[in-house]
Amino acid sequence: MINFIIKRILVSFVVVFLVSLFVFSIMHILPGDPVRLAMGFEATEQDVQRVREQLNLNKPLVEQYVLWIGGLFRGEFGISIAYHRTVAALLQERLPRTINLGIPAMIFAIIVGVGFGIISALWRGKWIDQVITLISTLGAGTPQFWLGIVGIYIFAIGLNWFPMQGYTAPNQDFALYLKKAVMPVFCMAIVMFASLARQTRSSMLEVINQDYIRTARAYGISEFSVIFRHALKNALIPVITIIGLQVRVVIGGSLLVEQVFNIPGIGTMLTSAVSNRDYFVVQSCVLIISLFTVAANLIVDVLYGVFDPRIRLARG
């Protein structure tokens, strides 16, 4: 088990290293001088040169890379040319907002997605199964930004149940946070919900048809116990993988959802950084996002090993 975890951690490091090379090289592939582009053509040559030195852009490539990574370890992410602030300060301000919506979205997607998947499998072919399958098929193909806009049109403009846009921190005014969070959380969750419902349904159906489930039933074990003690445990193993894979989808979706609901989180910051060519923000944001997904997948893989000794033994 220890071997397996160490191996997985090493692989994660390699992955993060490759991502860091990717985002680092992007800045150097770009035609033109990123500092000049970001500061505009009215900036004087001295100013541009000063910022260039400040950002270590006058040093050789390898040294730049080492300095950048070293800075990351000390919590220095460079400065945002567009916002005139350090990226660290921006992250500190914006990351909690994205997390405060992203985590509830994932929890919602997991509970409802797995729950619907189980219901769907148990009542296979019945109307409830068909309704859930239809919802998850539509959910997987719905553009999240569009869903948000339709939601605003119906629930904010039409029914006036929720505010149209914006974000309030939960520790500031929890009731207002909830009111503003309902629609964005739902939109962020929809894609993950859809794939979890589908995966849970199909792996549940697969498990229910296995011999040991029939044996359990033949022994007269109650249906509740057969489903929740014997079937679900095995059916959930592939579902855990999907949860790991879907973390990146939720993060990607946050870009769209934050834009629709005008939430000043990481997503809107990254989007505007790309349009403003604020490269240092792009670099750090992409690296941090990939750290999140790599960590999520690492946790999922380790959990996988804990839940399923077969995998632990095969991979260890």
Interacting residues toward other proteins by CB under 8 A: 11, 14-16, 18-19, 22-23, 26, 29-30, 137-138, 140-146, 149-150, 152-153, 157, 199, 202-203, 206, 238, 248-249, 251-253, 255-256, 259-260, 270-271, 274-275, 277, 282, 286, 289-290, 293-294, 297
Task: List the beta bridge partners of residue 139.
Answer: none
Closest distance to other proteins from the beta carbon of 237 (Å):
12
Least Å distance between CB 172 and other proteins?
A: 27
**Which of residues 166 and 169 has its CB atom nearest to other proteins in the complex?**
166
C-beta closer to other proteins: residue 58 or 137? 137
The answer to whether 221 and 141 are in contact (CB under 8 A) is: no
How many Å apart are CA 188 and CA 200, to the nearest integer? Answer: 19
- Adjacent-strand bridge partners of 79: 86
CB of residue 84 vs other proteins: minimum separation in angstroms? 21
**For the chain, the helix, strand and coil percentages under 3-state DSSP, each to the nearest 5:** 80, 0, 20
Minimum Å gap between C-beta 273 and other proteins is: 9
Q: Tell me the C-alpha distance between 16 and 287, whole Å.
A: 8
Angstrom distance (rounded) from CA 128 to CA 205:
15
**Least Å distance between CB 256 and other proteins?**
6
Pick from 70, 86, 270, 258: which is nearest to 167 by CA? 258
Smallest distance, other proteins to C-beta of residue 105, A? 14
By beta-carbon proximity to other proteins, the closer residue of 221 and 245 is 245
Cβ atoms of 81 and 39 closer than 8 Å: yes
* N residues, the chain: 316
Nearer to other proteins, 20 or 100 (CB): 20
| Closest distance to other proteins from the beta carbon of 117 (Å) | 13
The smaller minimum CB distance to other proteins, of residues 76 and 206, is found at 206
Nearer CB in complex with other proteins: 55/256: 256
**By C-beta, is 24 or 177 nearer to other proteins?**
24
Task: Give the angle subtended at the CA of 66 by the CAs of 61 and 69, to the nearest 5°.
Answer: 125
The smaller minimum CB distance to other proteins, of residues 18 and 66, is found at 18
| Beta pairing class for 79-80 and 85-86 | antiparallel
Dihedral through CA 310, CA 311, CA 314, CA 316, nearest 10?
A: -120
The one-letter amino acid at 108: F
Q: What is the C-alpha separation between 51 and 58, in angstroms, rounded?
A: 10
Q: How far is the CB of 166 from other proteins (least distance, A)?
A: 15
Query: What single string gives the DSSP state of each residue in 46-62?
Result: HHHHHHHHHTTTTS-HH
User: In 10 A of CB 239, how many CB atoms?
Assistant: 22
